[in-house]
Amino acid sequence: MTERERKILEDELKVKDFKLNSLLDITNAISLNEDISTITRIFEFILHEQLGLQKFLLFNKQEEWECILKVGHRPKMKEINVPQELGRFKDITVIESSPSKLLKDFDVVVPVFQNDEALAYLLVGSLGSNKLKVADHILNMSFIQTLANIVVVAIENKKMAKNRVVQERIRKELEVATEMQKLLFPEDLPSDRKMDVSAKYLPRHEVGGDYYDFIPIEENEYIICIGDVSGKGIGAAMLMANFQATIRTLYHYQRFDLEFLIEELNKKVMKSAKGEKFITFFLAHYKADTRTLTYVNAGHNHPILTNGKKAKLLDKGTIGLGMMDELPFLNIGEEILPPNTTLVLYTDGVVELENQKDEQFGLEKIEKIVHTFYPLGMEDLNSLLFSKLDEWRGELDYVDDTAIFSCRFF
């Protein structure tokens, strides 16, 4: 890996970590039922202190339009007709020139819509003189729009809770969790001369508790993992997001071995969930130069490893994380992968899927399919597996989150 490639990778990791941590700061405040002023202060801190934005306004529609956040500008609300001034903006828009007294002081309009209804407008100014404290490309208006959306949805939740509109509040909470999960899964999975990686995930509801990740840590070293948190909804999604942030922090900045990492993750889950939830988790460290795969299976469904001669289940490890304060045992598995080996990871939504006779799909069927069709491209293999699941369930719905994460090592 060249120095330039390493720098690009480090910058990409910093961007993703920054986005995830920003998202966690806001969603944690929401889950702790903090008041609106606290949530908006966190949003202000991210924009002003971390992104270095010197001027911005956030207008939100309460009973009337109000300016709920102002930095670097003090508008006179009596003189501003928000629908008239900003109503024409449907997408993120750069303001090149405007006769409006309000808009001429800003560079970008970031609208926030829900169900085609404008809930808020964020005006951002002074970009020309902006000095970011992180990489320049982290100033991403789409990401800022996502954060603004979460803040505004949280405000809507407060209003609905006050008015006792319970079902609507739940829907809005799920929208927050959905925004959060967009950053939970890796955006790009490799398909090159070294490996072919593909994943498919179907959440049972708007959000779920399944998680997978693929983390390059060196030119020839990679982390592959999959997990499932007990319970569903926003609480499960937030626990899993915190869990992922811990994994990435430990690996990218401190590089602990598997045994220490699993013990630390167990402590993290116990502290976060307080024994009310646990996570089944499979974590593997692959070194391409030696073709060595070391792994720990913490109570998760056994991944299937095959090169066409014999299928093997990866079952060495420990109990689920967060079940006990201290892990009662911990075993590290190791495999040397021959060329053209396929590894398939999955969550319990696959094996526990029932047909109309109340029969579960089961491990034996998925193991047979993987062993038979392992030479397929991983995207094709995942599509085949889901088509078999669809045939099995017939007219029935999926009853759980369902994830399949497949890797081919050339």
Q: Please report, in tens digits, the pLDDT of each residue of the chain (410 residues total).
A: 677 767 766 666 676 777 778 888 888 888 788 888 888 899 999 888 888 888 899 999 877 898 999 998 888 877 788 998 898 999 988 888 788 888 888 888 999 988 888 999 999 887 755 544 433 434 578 888 888 988 988 888 777 766 655 566 666 766 666 666 666 678 789 888 889 999 998 877 666 678 899 988 888 899 999 999 887 666 777 777 778 777 877 766 556 688 988 998 999 888 888 778 899 999 999 999 999 999 999 999 999 999 988 899 999 999 999 999 999 999 999 999 999 999 999 999 999 999 999 999 999 999 999 999 999 999 999 999 999 999 999 999 888 889 999 999 99
Can you tell me the distance from the alpha carbon of 360 to that of 347, in angstroms, rounded to the nearest whole number? 14
Can you tell me the distance from the alpha carbon of 118 to that of 89, in angstroms, rounded to the nearest whole number? 10
> How many C-beta atoms lie closer than 10 Å to residue 78's C-beta?
6
Coil, helix or strand for 403?
strand
Number of residues that make up the chain: 410
Can you tell me the distance from the alpha carbon of 370 to that of 381, in angstroms, rounded to the nearest whole number? 8
Q: Report pLDDT digits (tens) over 47-92.
A: 888 888 888 999 998 778 989 999 988 888 777 889 988 989 999 8
Encode burial over 140-178: b for 16+ CB neighbours within 10 A, e otherwise: ebebbbbbbbbbbbbbbbbebeeeeeeeebeebbbbbbb
Q: And the tokens for 89?
A: 């903006």
pLDDT score of 252:
63
Question: Is 135:14 a contact under the CB 8 Å cutoff?
Answer: yes
For the chain, list the domains and their CATH numbers.
3-180 (3.30.450.40), 189-409 (3.60.40.10)
pLDDT score of 138:
41
Degrees, nearest 5: CA angle 145-146-151: 95
pLDDT score of 162:
67
Encode burial over 312-327: b for 16+ CB neighbours within 10 A, e otherwise: bebebbbbbbbbeeeb
Coil, helix or strand for 101?
coil
Q: And the tokens for 20?
A: 């995830």
Q: And the tokens for 333?
A: 């598995």
pLDDT score of 131:
45
Q: Where are the alpha helices (DSSP H) in 77-129?
A: 82-86
